[in-house]
Amino acid sequence: MKKIILTVFAASSLLLYSTPSFAISLSVGVPIGASIKNDAGSEVADGASGYFLGVQLPFGLGLGMDSHKTKFKDDSTLKVATSMYNLYYQLPVPVVSLILGLGTGNSNFDCPGSGGGTCAEIFDKGAATQWYTSIGFPIIPFFDIHLSYRSITSKNIKDPDGDKYDVSGTITGIGLAFNF
């Protein structure tokens, strides 16, 4: 009986400590695609730029920050600027890095004006939330490449008349993580 318990304990210890979720990790990523649909269901986004940052502590918990701008197809100067703060958890899955996270922040229109900047003098920032997932694959020791999918809800950017704009959508990204 003692041998069985010792064998199970040893096997589970090797499995758990061989997973990357028990390491400290720094990650950086960039958006590679964006989607925002208008009221008629047509795609209006034309790509995104920005960054995703993350710091994972031992036992799988992590903090992150996203900042990105999504361009519109019909207007080369108007963008949606979104900033998020995230809390995520890396599931203890062997071989791959599987992350689930939630974020909160704000969105606003970014357009040319006096001195550039956001359209703060015209629009009020709207609250934004997101859920996301990421899957990472080791490429060399201590590094992995990961793909992410973010679903953003932001329906309350207001104009001076009180009308609300829905700029909810999705962002896909790619990044690198350094695990130590």
The string of pLDDT tens digits covering residues 5-29 is 555 544 444 444 445 556 789 999 9
pLDDT digits (tens, 9 = 90+) for 140-157: 888 999 999 999 999 888
73 band by pLDDT with thresholds 50, 70 and 90: confident
Asked if 86 and 68 touch (Cβ cutoff 8 Å), the reply is: no
Q: What is the pLDDT of residue 93?
A: 87
Q: Using CA atoms in the order 48, 172, 105, 137, what is the torsion angle rounded to 10 degrees?
A: -130
Asked if 135 and 146 touch (Cβ cutoff 8 Å), the reply is: yes
105 band by pLDDT with thresholds 50, 70 and 90: very high
Please provide the DSSP assignment of 27-49 as one string: EEEEEEEEEEB-TTS-B-EEEEE
Question: How many angstroms separate the CA atoms of 153 and 133, rounded?
Answer: 15
Question: How many angstroms separate the CA atoms of 28 and 145, rounded?
Answer: 10
Residue bearing tokens 């994972």: 56
